[in-house]
């Protein structure tokens, strides 16, 4: 049994379960003192209108930069939630930021995005002894995250990039990102973050490859559609391999039977979004003709979660908080197995705050069914002599 930790020292949090957008923001405003805030991160649940949220935020927090996105769930100080408006306040004492909105996302020029973020980084004045990372939030229905993360990696070079794709519950209708008081669809937000806190990146899933392999024999890459697998209709062949009928395929089946793509010695999940007319499978990551896929087998998800979050600083101390981008398919599997309570206990114990995504960006790759995060620790003491 994990002990409930004290509140993080370096980020303030506010949560509201009000189902009226304006009332939810009023509730948040009553909890947060934004004097000295560098910026707010806002994670909006399905069911609250983003534009109404933005209007109310602008009225309550005039002059405070606000960023964030719509979500497929939130990770609050209490753990997993599906209906919480979550706001994190980052203070000027420990954080500085510069931002760039990429809009529209389609079509996306790798050269232009790389040039824009390179220029942004060069113009962002450095603070002595502070370190930098980048956060990205993107329209989770844009199908552009693979190209986006490659562009950011090219432009920002050695700066680590962590991110999550905006969600829309399980509706897959419209997702958007918040930048400077407005929500934008078909857009991506890049935040260059400078901090005196020590930090470390996290990225993990809970799947191992099986011996079952398949080849995408026909695809529409621009739509992330696999039309055929092993020469048969994609949904039909996938259903055969996992041992169900095509009409039994569901988000729960996809969550528990992912397909993996090998990248050198690592396997990354290419999550399936759903079955399309004609038996095609739509994916949440890049898919192309000739791609070799391996069926994945899950390990114990709670044990993996606990072990991977149990990280320490260079001084051997636990994180003050972990900013987490956790795939909605992981939460779906946890819900399906009635493990939400114990999973939330683990998240609480490790001070994880963030949201459930339609995809995650880490180490220059767009992935699915993965937890990506940044663990922030207390600052290292500087030797003044």
User: For the segment 152-176, what is each residue's pLDDT rounded down to a tens digit?
Assistant: 999 999 999 999 999 999 999 999 9
For residues 68-93, give the mean pLDDT: 97
Residue 265 banded pLDDT, cuts 50, 70, 90: confident
- List the 161-165 sheet strands across, edge first: 95-102, 188-195, 131-138, 161-165, 360-362, 365-367
Q: Look at residue 15 and tell me whether its pLDDT is greater than 90.
A: yes
Share of the chain above pLDDT 90, in %: 88
**Which pair of tokens denotes residue 325?**
């981008």
Enumerate residues 6+ apart whose C-beta is below 8 A from 316.
none
Q: Look at residue 286 and tell me whether its pLDDT is greater than 50.
A: yes
For residues 261-285, give the mean pLDDT: 89
Residue found by looking up tokens 């993360």 in the block = 149
Identify the DSSP state of 188: E
Assess contact for 353 and 11: CB atoms under 8 A.
yes
Share of the chain above pLDDT 70, in %: 98
For residues 180-199, give the mean pLDDT: 97
Give the chain's mean pLDDT.
94
Q: Look at residue 2 and tell me whether its pLDDT is greater than 50.
A: no
Task: For the full predicted model, state whether its pTM sits above 0.75.
Answer: yes
The span from the CA of 234 to the CA of 252, in Å, is: 18
Q: What is the pLDDT, as a whole number, of residue 63?
A: 94
pLDDT tens, position by position, 195-211: 999 999 999 999 999 99
* Apex 146 CA angle, 216 and 241, nearest 5: 30
pLDDT tens, position by position, 296-341: 988 899 999 999 999 999 999 999 999 999 999 999 999 999 999 9
Tell me the backbone φ, ψ of residue 181, rounded to 5 degrees. 90, 0
* Apex 26 CA angle, 59 and 78, nearest 5: 130
For residues 107-134, give the mean pLDDT: 96
Cis peptide before 104 (omega within 30 of 0): yes
Residue 277 banded pLDDT, cuts 50, 70, 90: confident
The span from the CA of 327 to the CA of 372, in Å, is: 9
Q: What is the pLDDT, as a whole number, of residue 382?
A: 59
Residue found by looking up tokens 């897959």 in the block = 172
Q: What is the pLDDT, as a whole number, of residue 263?
A: 80
The span from the CA of 368 to the CA of 258, in Å, is: 9
DSSP string, 250-296: -HHHHHHS-EEEEETTEEEEE-EEEEPTTS-EEESS---TT-EEEEE
The span from the CA of 61 to the CA of 259, in Å, is: 44
Enumerate residues 6+ apart whose C-beta is below 8 A from 384.
none
Q: Look at residue 6 and tell me whether its pLDDT is greater than 80.
A: no
Q: What is the pLDDT, as a whole number, of residue 268?
A: 87
**Which pair of tokens denotes residue 175?**
């997702």
Q: What is the pLDDT, as a whole number, of residue 376?
A: 98
Q: What is the pLDDT, as a whole number, of residue 206?
A: 92
The span from the CA of 301 to the CA of 296, in Å, is: 13
The span from the CA of 384 to the CA of 229, in Å, is: 62
Q: Look at residue 227 and tell me whether its pLDDT is greater than 80.
A: yes
The span from the CA of 272 to the CA of 346, in Å, is: 27
Residue 5 banded pLDDT, cuts 50, 70, 90: low
Residue 384 banded pLDDT, cuts 50, 70, 90: very low
Residue 30 banded pLDDT, cuts 50, 70, 90: very high
What SS3 state is found at 367? strand
Task: Tally Cβ neighbours within 10 Å of residue 146.
Answer: 19
């Amino acid at each position: 049994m994990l002990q409930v930790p004290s509140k993080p020292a370096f980020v303030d949090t506010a949560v509201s379960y009000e189902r009226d957008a304006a009332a939810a923001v009023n509730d948040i405003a009553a909890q947060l003192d934004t004097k000295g805030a560098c910026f707010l991160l806002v994670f909006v649940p399905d069911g609250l209108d983003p534009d109404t949220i933005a209007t109310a935020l602008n009225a309550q927090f005039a002059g405070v930069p606000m960023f964030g996105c719509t979500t497929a769930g939130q990770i609050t100080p209490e753990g997993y939630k599906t209906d919480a408006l979550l706001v994190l306040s980052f203070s000027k004492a420990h954080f500085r930021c510069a931002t760039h909105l990429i809009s529209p996302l389609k079509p996306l020029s790798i050269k232009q995005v790389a040039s824009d973020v390179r220029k942004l980084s060069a113009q962002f004045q450095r603070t002595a002894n502070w370190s930098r990372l980048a956060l990205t939030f993107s329209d989770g229905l844009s199908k552009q995250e693979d190209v986006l993360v490659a562009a950011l990696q090219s432009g920002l070079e050695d700066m680590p990039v962590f991110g999550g794709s905006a969600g829309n519950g399980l509706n897959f209708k419209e997702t958007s990102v918040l930048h400077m008081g407005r929500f934008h669809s078909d857009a991506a937000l890049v935040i260059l973050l400078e901090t005196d806190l020590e930090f470390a990146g996290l990225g993990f899933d809970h799947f191992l490859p099986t011996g079952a392999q398949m080849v995408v024999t026909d695809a529409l890459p621009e739509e992330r559609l696999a039309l055929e697998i092993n020469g048969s209709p994609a949904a039909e062949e996938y259903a055969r391999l996992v041992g169900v009928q095509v009409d039994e395929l569901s988000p729960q089946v996809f969550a528990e039977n992912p397909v993996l793509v090998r990248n050198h010695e690592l396997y990354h999940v290419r999550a399936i979004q759903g079955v399309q007319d004609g038996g095609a499978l739509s994916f949440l990551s890049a898919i192309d003709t000739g791609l070799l896929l391996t069926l994945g087998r899950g390990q114990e998800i709670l044990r993996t979660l606990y072990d991977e979050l149990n990280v320490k600083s260079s001084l051997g101390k636990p994180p003050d908080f972990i900013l987490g981008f956790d795939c909605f398919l992981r939460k779906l599997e946890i819900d399906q197995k009635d493990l939400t309570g114990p999973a939330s206990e683990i998240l609480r114990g490790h001070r994880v705050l963030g949201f459930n995504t339609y995809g995650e960006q880490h180490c220059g790759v767009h992935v699915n069914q993965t937890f990506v995060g940044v663990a922030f620790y207390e600052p290292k003491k500087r030797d003044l002599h």
